[in-house]
């Protein structure tokens, strides 16, 4: 992929930490190249300490079309924006910022839309009437729990070690979407067996926490459906444990794909090349798998 940067190049950056596991830049830049768009997507690894200054830079620098936002900034970014898309406002979390010609910044949430499209089209999962158990009430958990309630879920259980964060999400779902949410204290897995879908939205299992899971394997209900918002590694410990107990599993690759599709359409005003983006993501996974096998072969016995 060739990247030619000139004075007319429009920039988009992903703000968050950690970002070492992200495939977003390659996926997005492959799409821009296929579209003939003079745009560049790159990473800015930062936590909330300097978030306001970074967002102000996006606002003031003419080359920026906007930015993407990930952990731990999806909720904190809201106070730096000028307006919110109605769905984003109801969710209370933002992962996409679009800059208007006047420098005004508008927040959107494409995570929930990406999750719903992925699980509906790729897993043939019917959200209407479903019972969901979500581990994690941060930005990703908030988005998928809200969109689940919006799409007709009968019950949404929210579990988080941060009690106030979890209860806040429950209040927002019940007040803004539908009265279907219930907070579950961390470590209480008694509701798991009655659920159609169990989601890991904690981020545990990627980056420095590879090999760990937020759910003890003995609580996994055989035959259930387990979903992890992480996609690198392809199978987190959460998914490996579920697979070992005969469960259907799915990672967040499709969620990443489809949320990126919506982002590109917001930043460019054009249809995104979905299959180009999917191929790029699959190529990255294939390359990672090949590299891991080579590393294993090269290790001394």
> pLDDT digit string (tens) for 35-49?
999 999 999 999 999
Strands annotated E in the chain: 10-16, 39-45, 64-69, 83-84, 96-99, 105-108, 131-135, 155-160, 181-185, 197-200, 225-228, 248-250
The mean of the pLDDT values for the chain is 93
Same domain, 125 and 152: yes
pLDDT at 293: 58
Asked if residue 300 belongs to a domain, the reply is no
Residue 2 has pLDDT above 70, yes or no: no
Q: Residues 245, 270: one domain?
A: no
Do 81 and 135 have their domain in common? no
| Domain co-membership, 126 together with 233 | yes
Distance CA 238, CA 215 (A): 7
Residue 14 predicted with pLDDT over 80: yes
- Do 30 and 42 lie in one domain? The reply is yes
Q: What pLDDT, on a 0 to 100 scale, did the predictor assign at position 268?
A: 98
Q: Is residue 145 part of a domain?
A: yes
Measured CA to CA, the distance from residue 93 to residue 143 in angstroms comes to: 7
Query: Does residue 289 fall inside a structural domain?
Result: no
For residue 57, which of 2, 103, 101 has the smallest C-alpha distance?
103
| Catalytic residue flag (residue 74) | yes
The reply to whether 66 falls in a domain is yes
pLDDT value of residue 21: 80
Q: Is the pLDDT of residue 52 over 60?
A: yes
Domain match, 96 and 18 both: yes
Over residues 84-112, the mean pLDDT reads 95
239 and 144 within one domain = yes
Q: Does 290 reside within a domain?
A: no
Same domain, yes or no, for 120 and 239?
yes
Q: How confident is the model at residue 242 (pLDDT cuts 50, 70, 90)?
A: very high
Domain with residue 67: its CATH number is: 3.40.50.10860
Average pLDDT over residues 68-80: 93
pLDDT of residue 1: 56
pLDDT at 130 over 90: yes
Angle between helices 253-268 and 274-298 (to 10 degrees): 140
* pLDDT of 3 strictly over 80: no
The whole domain housing 163 covers 112-253
Q: In which band, very low, low, confident or very high, does the pLDDT at 295 lie, cut at 50, 70 and 90?
A: low
Q: Is the pLDDT of residue 214 over 80?
A: yes
Same domain, residue pair 33 and 126: no
Q: Is the pLDDT of residue 292 over 80?
A: no
Within a domain: 19: yes
| pTM for the model | 0.85
User: Per-residue pLDDT averaged across 80-93, rounded?
Assistant: 95
Give which of 75, 68, 9, 77 is closest to 44, Cα–Cα. Answer: 68
Domain membership of residue 56 (yes or no) is yes
Q: Are residues 116 and 201 in the same domain?
A: yes
Q: What are 267-287's pLDDT values in tens digits?
A: 999 999 999 999 999 999 888
Mean pLDDT confidence for 46-74:
95
The share of the chain scoring above pLDDT 70, in percent, equals 95
For residues 164-185, average pLDDT: 97
Residue 31 and residue 51 share a domain: yes
Question: Tens digit of pLDDT for each residue in 190-210?
Answer: 999 999 999 999 999 998 999
Pick the catalytic residue: 8, 71, 74, 79?
74
What pLDDT does 22 receive?
Answer: 87
Together in a domain, 127 and 49? no
Number of structural domains in the chain? 2
Q: Angle CA(28)–CA(34)–CA(36) in degrees, nearest 5?
A: 100
Residue 89 lies in a domain: yes
CA distances from 292 to 203, 240, 263, 285, 299 (A): 22, 17, 31, 11, 11
CATH of the domain at 239: 3.40.50.720
């Amino acid at each position: 992929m060739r990247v030619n940067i000139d004075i007319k190049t429009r920039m988009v950056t992903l703000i968050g930490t950690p970002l070492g596991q992200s495939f977003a830049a390659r996926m997005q830049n492959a799409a821009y190249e296929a579209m003939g768009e003079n745009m560049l997507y790159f990473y800015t690894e930062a936590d909330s300490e300097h978030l306001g200054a970074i967002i102000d830079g996006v606002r003031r620098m003419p080359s920026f079309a906007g930015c993407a936002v990930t952990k731990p900034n999806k909720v904190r970014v809201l106070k730096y924006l000028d307006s919110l898309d109605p769905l984003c406002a109801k969710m209370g979390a933002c992962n996409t910022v679009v800059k208007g010609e006047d420098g005004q910044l508008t927040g959107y949430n494409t995570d929930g839309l990406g999750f719903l499209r992925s699980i509906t089209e790729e897993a043939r999962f019917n959200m209407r009437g479903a019972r969901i158990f979500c581990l994690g009430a941060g930005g990703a958990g908030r988005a998928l729990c809200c969109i689940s309630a919006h799409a007709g879920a009968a019950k949404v259980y929210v579990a988080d070690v941060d009690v106030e964060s979890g209860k806040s999400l429950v209040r927002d779902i019940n007040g803004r979407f539908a009265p279907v949410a219930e907070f579950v204290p961390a470590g209480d897995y008694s509701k798991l067996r009655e659920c159609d879908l169990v989601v890991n939205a904690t981020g545990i299992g990627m980056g420095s926490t590879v090999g760990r899971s937020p759910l003890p394997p003995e609580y996994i209900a055989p035959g259930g459906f387990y979903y992890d918002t992480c996609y690198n590694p392809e199978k987190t410990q959460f998914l490996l444990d579920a697979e070992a107990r005969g469960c259907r599993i799915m990672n967040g690759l499709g969620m990443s794909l489809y949320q990126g599709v919506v982002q590109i359409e917001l930043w460019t005003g054009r249809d995104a090349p979905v299959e180009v983006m999917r191929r790029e993501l699959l190529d990255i996974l294939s390359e990672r798998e090949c590299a891991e096998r080579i590393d294993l072969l090269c290790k001394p016995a």
